[in-house]
Amino acid sequence: MSYSIAEAARRSGLSIDTLRYYERIKLVDPPARDTAGRRDYSDPDLAWLEFLTKLRLTGMPIKRMREYASLRRHGVVSAGRRKAILVEQRQSVAERIAELQACLEILDYKITNYAQVERKVLDNEPTVEGISA
Amino acid sequence: MSYSIAEAARRSGLSIDTLRYYERIKLVDPPARDTAGRRDYSDPDLAWLEFLTKLRLTGMPIKRMREYASLRRHGVVSAGRRKAILVEQRQSVAERIAELQACLEILDYKITNYAQVERKVLDNEPTVEGISA
DNA sequence: ATTTGACCTGGAGTGCACTCCAGGTCGTAG
DNA sequence: CTACGACCTGGAGTGCACTCCAGGTCAAAT
């Protein structure tokens, strides 16, 4: 199967401009072209784009993705380094999740405070703003 | 207790430049000044900075934080809207955590694949790259 | 035959969140 | 009394990740 850039954009969730941009910065290899010189994305192209969007979701900077992409071009000999990148990223994602979970607790605490303020306001009790509400 | 900008930076984890920047964009109220015209941060100032850094960790854009900061200046009447912002942010954090957890699984899957490739390489077995490894 | 719409290129522009800089002012230590 | 370090201001510069634009090509539809 092959796909126009519009179709590739739709399937990857990236914009057409972003697809061309990723190609320019060598994050993706130039796809095949049809007779009219238009980009013709293959299934493996799409699979790579999908994986890239996952890496992006993890917050990996483009620089690092480019590094990974470049290693990929060197075939199986680079597998070790590629794995190392993923392991490192795994670590940073785990840390980010922990960080977000801590923030979630703080938000919950604040939200609870606000709920209390609301109750007091309804009761016409004197209100005191939280330490930094 | 009151703190120099250097001390406030140290305690909040923000840079001195960022503290001044936050003040310029009205994310924090101008702190008191000492006799020499230097910023003199108070404990409530620090508490607000700490909370701001939490909001930032959740990925809240500065625009939104400014909105929250501005509501805060309007006192208790804005509590409802402030709570709404936090509730919305809570939601987006929860979604982000879910997203990251999904990514974690993909990373684990990939990492496992690489581990397999390594084993095959050690065994001198023929290797096949994963669909988009 | 022309119009339309999807695509092409190189390059400029955008928004965000800082970060840095030049030139100046204070208060204390030597 | 001067030298130093920490601080001040307004404004310019940075890095990231896109996003937009002008001007052009091409194949199919009217």
pLDDT at B121 over 80: no
The parent domain of residue B17 ranges over: 2-99
What burial letters (b/e) apply to A6-44, b meaning 16+ CB within 10 Å?
A: eebbeebebeeeebeebeeeebbeebeeeeeeebbbeee
CATH (domain of A81):
1.10.1660.10
Give mean pLDDT, residues A84-111. 98
Within-domain flag for B44: yes
Nucleotides of C under 7 A from a protein CB: 6-9, 16-21, 26-27
Q: What percent of chain B has pLDDT over 70?
A: 91
Q: Is residue B114 part of a domain?
A: no
Q: For residue B39, which amino acid is it?
A: R
pLDDT at residue B117, rounded to an integer? 79
Query: Do the domain assignments include residue B131?
Result: no
Confirm or reject contact between A92 and chain B (CB < 8 A): no
Contacts of A76 in chain B (CB under 8 A): 117, 121, 127, 129
Beta carbon pairs, A and B, within 8 Å: 112
φ, ψ dihedrals at A35, nearest 5° = -60, -25
Reply yes or no on whether the pLDDT at B80 is more than 90: yes
Residue-averaged pLDDT of chain A: 92
A124 φ/ψ sector (left φ>0, alpha ψ -120 to 50, else beta): left
Say if B122 falls within a structural domain: no
- In this structure, chain B runs to a length of 133
pLDDT at B101 > cutoff 90: yes
**Looking at residues A101-110, what average pLDDT do you find?**
98
Asked if A90 lies within 8 A of B99 by C-beta distance, the reply is: no
Say how far residue B1 (Cα) sits from the centre of its chain.
26
Residues at the strand D interface (Cβ < 7 Å): A 15, 17-18, 20-21, 35-37, 56, 61-63; B 4-7, 16, 20, 37-39
Judge whether residue B127 has pLDDT over 70: no
Chain B residue whose CA is closest to A73: B133
For residues A113-119, average pLDDT: 84
- CB proximity A68 to B under 8 Å: no
**Residue A38 domain-assigned?**
yes
Tell me the pLDDT band of A124, cut-offs 50, 70 and 90.
low
Average pLDDT over residues B36-61: 98
In a domain, B128, yes or no: no
Mean pLDDT of chain B: 93
Chain A hits for B65, CB-CB cut-off 8 Å, are none
Question: Residue B9: pLDDT above 80?
Answer: yes
Q: Looking at CA atoms only, how far is residue B132 from chain A in angstroms?
A: 5
The yes-or-no verdict on residue B13 having pLDDT over 60 is yes
Q: Would you list the DSSP string of B44-89?
A: HHHHHHHHHHHHHHTT--HHHHHHHHHHHHTGGGGHHHHHHHHHHH
Q: What is the mean pLDDT of residues B89-105?
A: 98
Distances (CA, A) of A3 to A40, A41, B34, B82: 5, 5, 66, 46
Listed range (A84-98, B24-38, B118-132) with the worst mean pLDDT = B118-132
Distance A96 CA to D17 C1' (A): 20
The separation, in Å, between residue A86 CA and nucleotide D18 C1' comes to 24
What's the structural domain count of chain B? Answer: 1
pLDDT tens for A25-66 read: 999 999 999 999 999 999 999 999 999 999 999 999 999 999
pLDDT-above-90 percentage for chain A: 85
Residue A125 has pLDDT above 70, yes or no: no
CA–C1' span, A36 to D28, in Å?
13
Residue-level pLDDT at A118: 77
Q: Look at residue A46 in the predicted model and tell me its pLDDT.
A: 98
- Chain-chain contact of B111 with A83 (C-beta, under 8 angstroms): yes
* Residue B132 pLDDT > 50: no
In a domain, B113, yes or no: no
- State the smallest CA–CA distance between residue A95 and chain B in angstroms: 10
Q: Is residue A63 left, alpha or beta, with left meaning phi > 0 and alpha meaning psi from -120 to 50? A: alpha
Which parts of chain A fold into alpha helices (H)?
5-12, 16-24, 43-57, 62-73, 79-123
What is the CA B60 to C1' C23 distance in angstroms? 36
Q: State the pLDDT confidence band at B116, using cuts at 50, 70 and 90.
A: confident
